[in-house]
Structure 1
Amino acid sequence: MGYTRHPSCNPPGTDDPDKIWRYMDFTQLVSLLENDELYFPRADSLEDPFEGSLPVSHKNNVREEIFNEKSVNWAVQHLPKFRKICRKFTFLSCWHMNRGESAAMWDIYLKSNQGICIQSTIDDLIEGLNTEYNVYLSKVKYIDYTDAKIPGWTGLGDTISPFIYKRESFKHESEVRAIIHELPWHYSDEGGKITSEDIGDEDLEEGDYESGKTVDVDLDRLINSIRVSPQAQPWVAELTEDVCETYGLGADFVVDSPMEREPYH
């Protein structure tokens, strides 16, 4: 399996920057190199509480959006709980899409001056995945959750669209995300969509859920280069080079951040 196209997703195109960046702590890099695995945390474990939610306008118009009339009353009553459960079966690997490093992303996502950034490309992320899961890829779209609507959302049968939208206040992230979206319900024969008949009351009860999923990756393909935080001490870069050599990547994978350069004048 691995990368799979999904009609609701919006993968990067030829006009988008090809480079993508994953900002992480040094310990996360060591875990990646040690296990040859990319970690996909559960959607509801991320910092944004709006992950996978619907804008207010959908709540007000749910009767118009649920095409199966038998599901209308069920959706009005249970849709918030249904969306909450969907977040527990969705796992995300989030990347910053940009032609170069981002000072804002260094500041926001790194808790210390020992931060690391992996640079890859869309194609190398796709080709580097080695997994039995279907992994979808989409750029994130940014909207106002107070009055906008998710254009692709068509009721219970479209469970993934809410995960490719975020609030406008996150627009600086310029995010592209890899998505594992595996719901526990069996689809009905009505156009391949979930209806209220497919979901029992027990399916909406809280239970034990995976905190995340790990996906095997080809590190030589996935990682184009590794950058060390411009605020890091020299020993951090030296240690990163040693770690890369230990795990077979080679010290030349660690390159100087252009943000460390002195001005010309």
Structure 2
Amino acid sequence: MSDINIQPEDQAVFDRLKSDGRITHRLRRMMTQQWNTCVSCGRNTPQGRPVFAGYDENKKELLVGACCSDRLAHLATPVYWTGTLNLSAPDSSKVWRYMDFTKFVAMLMQQGLYFTTAENFSDPFEGAIGLADRETIWDNYYLDFFRQAVTTAPPGYTPPKLSDQEVEAEAHRLLKSIKATSTHVRKSLVNCWHENDDESEVLWQLYSPPSETGLAIQSTVGNLWEAASNSDQAIVGRVHYLDFRKRYASIQSERIFCKRQSLSHEREIRIVLQNDRNEPSNGQVLKCELRNLIDGIVISPFAPSWFVDVLNSTIAKFGFEFDIRPSSINDEPFF
């Protein structure tokens, strides 16, 4: 838990504007990619201070510090970034999605990207807070925090009079409430990509091995944001790889962007959608314009020679035309 450090100039923003919670896709994109940086002056907001997400008088999205808050006409939400993950990745970053041919055909048929729930992945740590043998340490830390929180009043207010039993009961209730979100985090809908300037032989072996005929789609982070523009809740972010023996993932739902250090070779960028809390789906397709998403297609280095014609014919049948090239993994050396 991080301390919040509201300064008079921050309070002045709260006094002038009331947040309405209206966050468009473009504003969420700005909040994710800028994180703690004022888009007006480029300054990084100090620790503990909020940045303000909203719109100017022309309804243009803004993320500003108190330094440039005069530009805000509407406040969507304050962003308390301290202690949160920096998920930002440049729009220009190249990303790849390795897949077998059947999944590619399904993408063409569905005219969009398929998202599955995180709990469907093979990694048992998807959405995890930490290691099971370190859970007691984590519990005790937050119980101490909640004990202090429920007995401490904001400045100018009288602290509540609670018995030791009431304090303990409330602290455990709050802890249980936080841990109850774990199930919903694992229900998050995820679509995964690999960030790299070039191909990865390791990823070819993992997701399109010699036993399968496959390909890799090349795109950019910016394209992913545009592809996800049909969902105001979508977040495109860079995965953080943690040593769970030494630290815990965030208690917030952003921990869906946390994975074990042993998987760091994946260099993952993922698109995450919120699932319905009452009736979560096991997967869904997010419609998008594939012509704008796909910058190129690379054929698997293990694919047979006849696959090129099959791939071109299939793409044409669906009315598309993409730049297709062979894998550089097959380039020959000289000695």
TM-score, length of structure 2 as denominator length: 0.63
Letter in 2 for 1:122: V
Q: CA deviation at 1:99?
A: 0.5
Map residues 1-265 of structure 1 onto 2, 5 A cutoff.
Answer: 2=25, 4-5=28-29, 6=32, 8=84, 9-13=86-90, 18-55=93-130, 56=134, 58-64=138-144, 69=150, 72-77=171-176, 79-88=178-187, 90-110=188-208, 112-150=211-249, 153=250, 155=251, 158=252, 160-182=253-275, 184=277, 209-250=280-321, 252-265=322-335
Secondary structure (helix, strand or coil) at the match of 2:234 reads strand
Q: CA deviation at 1:248?
A: 2.1
The answer to whether the 8 Å contact 1:19/1:122 transfers is: yes
Unaligned runs of 5+ in 1: 185-202
Between 1:230-239 and 1:49-58, the stretch displaced more is 49-58
The answer to whether the 8 Å contact 1:240/1:254 transfers is: no
Letter in 2 for 1:107: Q
Secondary structure (helix, strand or coil) at the match of 2:222 reads helix
Label 1:75 to 1:254 Cα distance change in 2 as closer, same or farther (>3 A). Answer: same
Secondary structure (helix, strand or coil) at the match of 2:181 reads helix
Q: Which residue of 2 aligns with 1:200?
A: none
Letter in 2 for 1:139: R
Label 1:130 to 1:82 Cα distance change in 2 as closer, same or farther (>3 A). Answer: closer
Structure index of larger Rg? 2
Q: CA deviation at 1:81?
A: 4.2
Q: Distance in 2 between matches of 1:94 and 1:115?
A: 16
Q: Distance in 2 between matches of 1:91 and 1:258?
A: 32
Q: CA deviation at 1:59?
A: 3.7
Secondary structure (helix, strand or coil) at the match of 1:134 reads coil
When the two chains are superposed, the root-mean-square deviation of aligned CA atoms in Å is 2.5
Q: Distance in 1 between matches of 2:225 and 2:264?
A: 24
Label 1:59 to 1:79 Cα distance change in 2 as closer, same or farther (>3 A). Answer: same
- Residue by residue, what CA displacement relative to the aligned partner does 1:188-232 show, whole Å, maximum 9, x if unpaired? xxxxxxxxxxxxxxx7xxxx6311121111111100111121011
The answer to whether the 8 Å contact 1:129/1:218 transfers is: no
The answer to whether the 8 Å contact 1:113/1:229 transfers is: no
Label 1:164 to 1:68 Cα distance change in 2 as closer, same or farther (>3 A). Answer: farther
Label 1:226 to 1:64 Cα distance change in 2 as closer, same or farther (>3 A). Answer: farther
User: Alignment identity in percent?
Assistant: 27
Q: CA deviation at 1:182?
A: 4.3
Q: How many correspondences in the alignment?
A: 233
The answer to whether the 8 Å contact 1:133/1:180 transfers is: no
The answer to whether the 8 Å contact 1:130/1:216 transfers is: no
Q: Distance in 1 between matches of 2:200 and 2:240?
A: 19
Unaligned runs of 5+ in 2: 1-23, 33-80, 151-166
Q: Distance in 2 between matches of 1:177 and 1:72?
A: 34
The answer to whether the 8 Å contact 2:227/2:289 transfers is: yes
Letter in 1 for 2:262: S
TM-score, length of structure 1 as denominator length: 0.78
Q: CA deviation at 1:77?
A: 4.0
Q: CA deviation at 1:130?
A: 4.4
